[in-house]
């Protein structure tokens, strides 16, 4: 039941007095802005005092502090400001806690990889392969180059196919054909990566016999995973081009295909670049298909048509599972390879943002 | 170069729905013809059927004949793209190409069709078109700035310059000033008076006073009821339409009894 204060003094707001509000005006009071923080601080103090008594650890400390603090904020706001504000603050606390919870694995992951991978982040790691290395030393030059070659090849295959499919879907397709293609693309986005790898392997095994390992097979497997991502994002971007631009071009007597090539695609080039970059970032770390199509090698091989190649994810896998004796050196190399992969993906994301900013149609005066 | 357009028994469909029925009209060269009428009665649809833009809409089709100087625009071996090169169009909302500069926008009709032109010739053409659209003095110092960075009225004049740069025979204008302020509208109307020396102009407008100001001939479109196709009720010299129209419906519309 809402309570409007009819006391002559209350005009709905009281000066934010002491930290616990003025009880006199009851539910139309206002808490100080730092009151919620004070509640959490108080809760932290209480739990901290109880820590040695109940043998807590850091995680439990944080948990109890958050729970106690939320409870305190809710009750305090309810008594001073009213039930609506109290619910508001409660939900804010819950949402922020959920965010914090979601951040924990991310931060923990980055911390782990950086702290363990930084050990081998040296010149030798980037300059040498594993040829002749037993134990200490060695690097991942062959794996890094392999990743770059395979990714470039995958992009070369996927982007034209994906882009043209998207253009077909947006500009030409109608009715049943469009629905069918959209459905198939959606199915492709869900293909497990190992299945894509098996497909590429089976395809080449038909022609070259079992046991075949080629760089191009890995590129094909990754293309199966990358094409639907490119199609989806390109389609969204192309649909955003306003129809009046196409009409303006048609009205000038420009044929449809030229309109697409010279008006629609350039207008959406920023979004297309971003979409492609993010699609690359998605496939660059796929391990399963590369395990069965590329295998691993210790030497540098840059020819995708000539046998096994090393790639960063598979390199990390083998360094961890077949480390040799003593295992510490291989494990270090594996962690550094993982760190390089993360840096690569982050770099691609940054590039995507830069593309989006620099190539967007300008409207300066 | 401005050409005459003869329309006979034109029916315009969206799929199976008949939107405009039985239009018979002759549009004079080197003059301005205005099409007026209430919303939704088929004026824009009719206008877009003249340069075969109606077909761009899925399901859009046309029955009947539109003849321009002896050539049937809907003939069996006529390419719509060719028709649109001869008949230009300016739209209600200005739509300069955002990725192109002002110069490139005006030259777009040439460049996008890959017509080869010497740079000096192209410069002359752009300048002529911008002068023709009354925009040259305002933009001559910033031809390489983005086309989207102009005001609304300037953008619309840029679109007009773009349309006349390809030197069409006919210029169609679909409510060209409805998105503009009165000063820009005046500029566009003055521009039309200049352009009619060289082109045939057909303009669709909601603004009856504008039709009275600029046009020589006026056509009045109307619907007989909801869901009925639009029809051309009357087509006469502008002075007659606005002072002594033949049809009662025209008179009712002009005097504001409906619409």
**Chain center to CA of B32:** 10
Residues in chain A with CB shorter than 8 Å from the CB of B89 are 251
Q: A66 with A134, same domain?
A: no
Q: Which residues of B199-219 are buried (b: 16+ CB within 10 A; e: fewer)?
A: bbbbbbbbebebbbbbbebbb
CA proximity to B247, closest of B216, B228, B224: B224
* Residues in Cβ contact with A131 at an 8 Å cutoff, skipping those fewer than 6 apart: A298, A299, A300
Question: Do A102 and A208 fall within a single domain?
Answer: no
The answer on pLDDT for A19 being more than 70 is no
The radius of gyration computed from the CA coordinates of chain A, to the nearest angstrom, equals: 29
Name every residue whose Cβ is closer than 8 Å to that of residue B85 and which is 6 or more positions away in sequence: A252, A253, B113, B166, B168
Question: Dihedral sign, CA of A256, A260, A262, A264?
Answer: positive
Q: Is residue A9 part of a domain?
A: no
Tell me the shortest Cα–Cα distance from B53 to chain A, in angstroms.
7
B97 touching chain A per CB within 8 A: yes
Considering the domain boundaries, does residue A105 fall inside one? yes
A36 and A183 assigned to the same domain:
no
Distance CA A180, CA A353 (A): 33
Q: Does B146 touch chain A if contact means CB atoms closer than 8 Å?
A: yes
Determine if the peptide bond prior to B186 is cis (ω within 30°): no
Q: Check A361 against B88: CB less than 8 A apart.
A: no
Distance, CA of A44 to chain centre: 33
CB proximity A174 to B under 8 Å: yes
Q: What is the largest CA-CA distance in chain B?
A: 56
Domain count of the fold of chain A: 2
List all residues of chain A from 230 to 289 with a beta carbon under 8 Å from chain B.
242, 244-255, 258-259, 262-263, 266-267, 269
* Contact list, B148 vs chain A (CB under 8 Å): 361-363
Q: Cα separation of A221 and A243, whole Å?
A: 36
Last residue of one domain, picked from the residues A72, A101, A117: A117
Residues of B in contact with A362 (CB under 8 A): 98, 146, 148-149
Give the integer Cα–Cα distance in Å for A310 and A312. 7
Q: What number is the average pLDDT over the span A220-237?
A: 95
Domain boundary among A117, A136, A170: A117
Are A191 and A266 in a shared domain? yes
pLDDT above 90: percentage of residues in chain A:
51
Same domain, A237 and A351: yes
- Tell whether the model's pLDDT for residue A26 goes beyond 70: no
The answer to whether residues B98 and B147 touch, using CB atoms and an 8 Å cutoff, is yes
* Same domain flag for A156 and A212: yes
All residues of chain B having their beta carbon less than 8 Å from the beta carbon of residue A262 are 112
Tell me, what's the pLDDT at A364?
52
Domain range for A255: 125-359
> B81 CB contacts (<8 Å, ≥6 apart)?
A253, A254, A255
Inform me whether the C-beta atom of residue B85 falls under 8 Å from chain A C-beta atoms. Answer: yes
pLDDT digit string, tens, across residues A44-84: 888 888 888 887 788 888 888 899 999 998 988 888 888 89
Q: What is the pLDDT of residue A139?
A: 87
Assigned CATH topology for domain B5-254:
Rossmann fold (3.40.50)
Q: Which residues in chain B are closer than 8 Å to A263, comparing Cβ atoms?
A: 97, 99, 112
Contact B112 A250 (CB under 8 A): no
Same domain, A108 and A160: no
Contact A267 B84 (CB under 8 A): no
Partner-chain residue, chosen from A244, A245, A254, that has the shortest CB–CB distance to B113: A254
A181 and A199 co-located in one domain: yes
pTM: 0.80
Residue A147 within a domain: yes
**Phi/psi at B32 (nearest 5 deg)?**
-110, 125
- Assess whether A210 and A342 both reside in one domain: yes
Which of residues A53, A88, A117 is at a domain's end? A117
Which residue in B169, B23, B189, B163 sits closest to B96, CA to CA? B163
- Are B146 and A262 a contacting pair at CB < 8 A? no
8 A C-beta contact, residue B204 and residue B47: yes
- Chain A contact present for B112, CB below 8 A: yes
Are the Cβ atoms of B108 and A252 closer than 8 angstroms? yes
Q: pLDDT, tens digit, for every residue of A280-321?
A: 998 998 999 999 998 888 888 888 888 889 999 999 999 999
Q: How many CB atoms lie within 10 A of CB B136?
A: 17
Residue A15 lies in a domain: no
Do A113 and A129 reside in the same domain of the chain? no
pLDDT band, very low/low/confident/very high, at A193 (cuts 50, 70, 90): very high
Same domain? For A158 and A254 the reply is yes
Find the helix packing angle between B152-165 and B182-195, rounded to 10°.
20
- B60, B14 in Cβ contact below 8 A? yes
Per-residue model confidence (pLDDT) at position A135: 78
Q: What is the pLDDT along chain B (259 residues), one digit of tens a residue?
A: 678 999 999 999 999 999 999 999 999 999 999 999 988 888 999 999 999 999 998 889 999 999 998 889 998 889 999 999 999 999 999 999 998 999 999 999 898 887 888 899 999 999 999 988 888 999 989 999 888 888 888 999 999 999 999 989 899 999 988 888 888 888 888 888 888 888 899 999 988 889 999 999 999 999 888 888 999 999 999 999 999 999 999 999 988 887 7
Q: Are residues A109 and A190 in the same domain?
A: no
């Amino acid at each position: 039941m809402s309570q409007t204060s009819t006391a002559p003094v209350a005009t709905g707001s009281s000066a934010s007095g002491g930290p616990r509000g003025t009880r006199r005006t009851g539910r139309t009071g206002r808490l100080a802005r730092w009151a919620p923080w004070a509640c959490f601080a108080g809760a932290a103090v209480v739990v901290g005092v109880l820590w040695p008594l109940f043998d807590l650890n850091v995680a439990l400390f944080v948990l109890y502090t958050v729970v106690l603090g939320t409870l305190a904020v809710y009750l305090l706001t309810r008594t001073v400001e009213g039930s609506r504000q109290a619910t508001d603050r409660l939900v804010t606390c819950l949402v922020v806690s959920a965010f914090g919870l979601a951040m924990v694995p991310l931060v923990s992951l980055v911390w782990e990889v950086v702290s363990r991978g930084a050990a081998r982040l040296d010149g030798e790691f980037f300059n040498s392969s594993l040829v002749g290395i037993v134990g200490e030393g060695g690097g991942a030059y062959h794996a890094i180059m392999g990743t770059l070659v395979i990714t470039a090849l995958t992009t070369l295959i996927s982007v034209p196919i994906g882009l043209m499919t998207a253009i077909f879907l947006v500009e030409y397709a109608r009715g049943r054909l469009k629905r069918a293609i959209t459905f198939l693309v959606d199915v492709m986005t869900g293909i497990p990566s190992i299945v894509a790898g098996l497909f590429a392997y089976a395809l080449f095994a038909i022609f070259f016999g079992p046991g075949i390992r080629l760089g191009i097979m890995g590129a094909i497997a990754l293309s199966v995973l990358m094409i639907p991502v490119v199609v989806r994002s390109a389609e969204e971007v192309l649909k955003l081009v306003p129809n009046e631009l196409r009409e303006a071009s048609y009205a000038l007597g420009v044929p449809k295909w030229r309109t697409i090539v010279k008006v629609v695609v350039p207008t959406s080039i920023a979004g297309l670049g971003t979409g492609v970059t993010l699609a690359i970032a998605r496939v660059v770390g796929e391990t399963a298909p590369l395990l069965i199509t590329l295998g691993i090698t210790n030497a540098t091989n840059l020819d995708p048509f000539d046998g096994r190649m090393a790639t960063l994810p598979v390199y990390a896998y083998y360094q961890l599972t077949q480390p040799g004796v003593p295992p510490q050196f291989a494990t270090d190399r594996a962690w550094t390879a993982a760190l390089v992969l993360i840096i690569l993906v982050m770099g691609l994301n940054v590039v995507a943002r830069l593309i989006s900013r620099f190539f967007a149609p300008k409207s300066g005066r | 170069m401005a050409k005459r357009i003869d329309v006979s028994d034109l029916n315009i469909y969206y799929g199976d729905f008949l939107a405009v029925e039985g239009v018979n009209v002759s549009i004079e060269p080197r003059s301005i013809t205005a099409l007026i009428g209430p919303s939704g009665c088929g004026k824009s649809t009719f206008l877009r059927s003249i340069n075969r833009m109606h077909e761009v809409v899925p399901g859009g089709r046309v029955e009947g004949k539109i003849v321009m100087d002896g050539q049937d625009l809907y003939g069996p071996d006529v390419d719509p793209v060719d028709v649109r090169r001869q008949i230009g169009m300016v739209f209600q909302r200005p739509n300069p190409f955002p990725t192109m500069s002002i110069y490139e926008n005006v030259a777009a009709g040439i460049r996008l069709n890959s017509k080869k032109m010497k740079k000096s010739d192209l410069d002359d053409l752009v300048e002529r078109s911008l002068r023709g659209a009354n925009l040259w003095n305002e933009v001559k110092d910033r031809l390489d700035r983005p086309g989207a960075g102009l005001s609304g009225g300037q953008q619309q004049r840029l679109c007009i310059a773009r349309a006349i740069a390809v030197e069409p025979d006919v210029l169609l204008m679909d409510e060209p000033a409805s998105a503009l302020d009165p000063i820009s509208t005046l500029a566009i109307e003055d521009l039309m008076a200049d352009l009619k020396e060289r082109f045939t102009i057909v303009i669709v407008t909601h603004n009856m006073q504008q039709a009275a100001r600029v046009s020589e001939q006026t056509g009045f479109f109307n619907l007989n009821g909801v869901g009925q196709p639009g029809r051309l009720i009357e087509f006469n010299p502008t002075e007659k339409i606005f002072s002594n129209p033949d049809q009662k419906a025209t008179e009712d519309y002009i005097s504001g009894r409906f619409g």
